[in-house]
Chain A
C-alpha cells in the first residue's frame, strides 16, 4: 500500500515545527514515530499535504526528574519508557505498561507524545498517564503552556491540542513512596490493542487507610477516562474485598462506552468492572492477606 503524495519537511527545532505548522494552513501533520500515522497514510484514511518530521528535534528527547514529577520528552519511545532506570525506580507501572504496547519493533518507533496526541481510545498510555496525573507541556507561537491530560481527550482521535502547537513533554506525578500501582490489559487477540486497560495507583497510611487513589481506564470507551467514582469510594477507607467490589462496580460510570463488532457494550462494561476489581485486589489484597 502506498500513501497519496505529500511534501516532507524536517523541523530542526520546536520553533521551526511551529512555524511550518503556521505556514501550512492546517494542511500539515506532525510526524513522530509514525506508527499511528503511517498506517493511516497507507490506508489513505488521511492525506495531509505536508508531513513535518519532528523526530530529530533534540529538545524533545530526555527523561528528567523535577520535584515530585518526572518530565518525559515527547519523543521518548515506548522502548525507552520500558528500559529507563529512572522510570523503573520512580513509577514502575509506566515501564510495565510501555512493555505491553504492540511488539518489540513497534516499541522501538512509537513515542509517548504521539501515543497521547493521537488519542486512540484503544491505546495503552492514556489510561496510565491519567492515573499518574499527567500534564502535557504544549508549545505554540504564543509560548509554552501546561495542559492537564484529564480533559485533553475529546473523542476518538480528537484532542484539545491547539492547532499550531505540539506536545513537547509529558510530566507524570511520582506516586507516594508507599503507593502501589498496576496496569492490567485485556488485549484484542488480533490487533493487540487494549479492549480494556485499567491502571490503578493506590497508596495507604501506615494504619492501612487509603490516602491516594487514581484509576485510569482506556480501551472500553470513546476516550480514556479517570474513574473518579471508583477513586472516591476508596479514599479514606480500609481495604477489604467488599470495598473493592463496591468501588469496582462503578468503573464504567465515567466511561462513554459503546459496542463494536468485537465486543458489545455490555461485555465492555463487564470487562471494565472485572479488570478494575483485579487491579485493586492485586494492590490492596496481595496473596494471602484476604
Chain B
C-alpha cells in the first residue's frame, strides 16, 4: 500500500481527522469511514449525481473527488441538512410536493438544489431545470422535483422576511 495521508475536514460542522489511502474517493470516505450512508453511489462514472455533497458550499460529485482533496474543506452531506423534527426547506419541499418515489436520487438532488438556492434564492422554473442537469432521477420524471424546489425557494423567502432563517435552516450534527 502506498503512503497514507492524514486528512482533517469538517463534515456537517463536526471536525474529523483520519488516515486515508490517497486513492480513496470522498464518497467512500463519507460512507465507509464516517458511516454517513445518506450519500449514495448511483453510477460511479460522474453522471448521476446521487453522490452530490457540498464542498465549501458548492455542489460536487463526491465520486469524482479524492478524500485527500477535501483536506481542510467543509463538507455538508444530506445528514447535515436537517432531521425529522427540523426539516430543511428543501426537505419540506420534497415532502409537500412528493418530490421522490424510490428516493435513491433524493440526497444528491437535494444537495445540488441547496447549492442552487444558495446562489439563486429565487430561481425560475427554467433555472431549476437547468441546475438539475447533473442529477438523474429514474422515477419522478422531474416535474415534482421542480415543484419541490420552487416550494423550498418560496418557503426560504418567507423565512428570510420573518428573520427566522437560522432557526429553521438547521445544519444537523452529523454522526
A residues adjacent to B (C-beta < 8 A): 1-8, 10, 31, 34-35, 38-39, 41-42, 51, 53, 55, 79, 102-106, 108-109, 192
Per the CB 8 Å criterion, the residue count for chain B at the interface is 32
Closest to B1 in A: A5
Beta-carbon contact of A109 and B65 below 8 Å: yes
Q: Which residues of B contact A79 (CB under 8 A)?
A: 58
Closest CB-CB distance, B71 to chain A, in whole Å? Answer: 8
Closest CB-CB distance, A139 to chain B, in whole Å? Answer: 22
Closest to B134 in A: A103
Q: Which residues of A contact B69 (CB under 8 A)?
A: 31, 34, 53, 55
Beta-carbon contact of B66 and A105 below 8 Å: no
Closest to A191 in B: B47
Q: Which residues of A contact B1 (CB under 8 A)?
A: 5
A-B residue pairs in contact (CB < 8 Å), sample of 7 = A4-B23, A7-B3, A102-B134, A104-B112, A106-B134, A108-B115, A109-B65
A39 to B43, CA, bound (A): 12
B139 within 8 Å of A by Cβ? Answer: no
B64 within 8 Å of A by Cβ? Answer: yes
B residues adjacent to A (C-beta < 8 A): 1-3, 5, 21-23, 25, 28, 44-46, 49, 52, 55, 58-61, 64-66, 68-69, 71, 112, 115-116, 131, 133-135
A184 to B64, CA, bound (A): 28
A8 to B66, CA, bound (A): 10
Q: Which residues of A contact B71 (CB under 8 A)?
A: 10
Beyond A104-B134, A105-B52, A105-B134, is A8–B64 a contact (Cβ under 8 Å)?
A: no
Beta-carbon contact of B134 and A1 below 8 Å: no
Beta-carbon contact of B22 and A103 below 8 Å: no
Beta-carbon contact of A5 and B52 below 8 Å: no
Beta-carbon contact of B2 and A104 below 8 Å: no
Beta-carbon contact of B23 and A39 below 8 Å: no
Beta-carbon contact of B23 and A35 below 8 Å: no
Closest to A108 in B: B58
Q: Which residues of A contact B58 (CB under 8 A)?
A: 79, 108
Beta-carbon contact of B59 and A105 below 8 Å: yes
Closest to A43 in B: B45
Q: Which residues of A contact B49 (CB under 8 A)?
A: 103, 105
A104 to B57, CA, bound (A): 13
Closest to B115 in A: A104
A225 to B114, CA, bound (A): 39
Beyond A104-B134, A105-B52, is A2–B64 a contact (Cβ under 8 Å)?
A: no
Beta-carbon contact of A109 and B22 below 8 Å: no
Out of B44, B52, B55, B133, which one reaches A42, CB within 8 Å? B44
A115 to B171, CA, bound (A): 34
Beta-carbon contact of A34 and B65 below 8 Å: yes
Closest CB-CB distance, A95 to chain B, in whole Å? Answer: 15
A108 to B66, CA, bound (A): 15
Out of A7, A31, A192, which one reaches B2, CB within 8 Å? A7
Most buried by B among A38, A79, A102: A38
Out of A4, A7, A34, which one reaches B66, CB within 8 Å? A34
Out of A4, A6, A109, which one reaches B64, CB within 8 Å? A109
Q: Which residues of B contact A42 (CB under 8 A)?
A: 25, 44-45
Shortest 8 CB-CB contacts between residues of A and residues of B: A103-B134, A8-B22, A103-B133, A108-B58, A5-B2, A105-B134, A3-B23, A105-B61
Out of A4, A6, A53, A105, which one reaches B60, CB within 8 Å? A105
Known: A35-B46, A108-B115. 11 other contacts (CB 8 A): A2-B25, A8-B3, A8-B68, A34-B64, A34-B69, A38-B66, A39-B45, A42-B25, A104-B112, A105-B59, A109-B65
